[in-house]
Amino acid sequence: MTLATKPLTPRLGEGVYTLPDAALILRLPLTRLRHWVGGYFDAGDVEDDGFLATWGRGRGRGFNFLVLIEAYTVYHLRLLGVSLQRIRVAREILGKHLETPHPFAARGILASGGRVLFDLEASAPGALLQLSPGKQTELRDIIEPFCTRLDFDPSTRLADRFWPCGRGAHIVVDPRRSFGRPTITGTSITAEVLADLVDAGEAPTDVAAQYDVPVPAVEEAHRFIHQLAA
């Protein structure tokens, strides 16, 4: 039995996401994300081995905020050539080491200052993520900038908010607001609602006045919703 729970249905305050949602929020290409992370999700039966915090099947596969953050790490480990089996085993070992069911979303893994996955091998033998020096550097270069856009809960040490456009921007992903949809910071107004109004022909200034948000927030929401994952 693993440390993870078995959330087979969405839970209020944890966020609700699909792979297309993850591609938009994390700015990753959907086709590759579906290939790499989809294989990770579908590697086992959720009712039997339960270590995946997901629900549903196929296009109906959904997951919570912490798995959204973990997906970023899984995606890039796969790009670096780490097998799904090694990722699964490493996640289990690191989860026990950090005492969390979501180790790829934990501050001990994702924090800046060099403490990334492979550095835990000395304290968590068998983590099975012995990357070459070049790949270690590449993973650091990927993970550390990503972490500057995360807030962590000090009590759980797990990610609890994500700033997809960077800190200081107007959009935040908070699982406690609007089911985790990207919203305008300090509100529950989704970026999608503002973007749809601009698409319908409303001027950003009028939308901003209607929702009592800054005009740059409306413009940022429109850009964000229509961006292509790269």
Q: For residue 43, give the DSSP letter.
A: T
Tens digits of residue pLDDT in 60-106:
778 999 999 999 988 988 888 888 887 887 788 788 877 888 888 98
CA distance 139 to 53: 24
CA distance 65 to 179: 9
The answer for residues whose C-beta is within 8 angstroms of residue 140's C-beta and 6 or more apart is 114, 116
Domain ranges of the chain: 19-160, 171-226
Q: Is 56 exposed, middle or buried (0-12, 13-18, 19+ CB in 10 A)?
A: middle
3-class SS of residue 8? coil
Residue 8 has pLDDT above 80, yes or no: no
Correct CATH for 171-226 of 1.10.10, 3.30.70, 1.10.3470, 1.20.120: 1.10.10
Tens digits of residue pLDDT in 160-198:
999 999 998 999 999 999 999 999 999 999 999 999 999
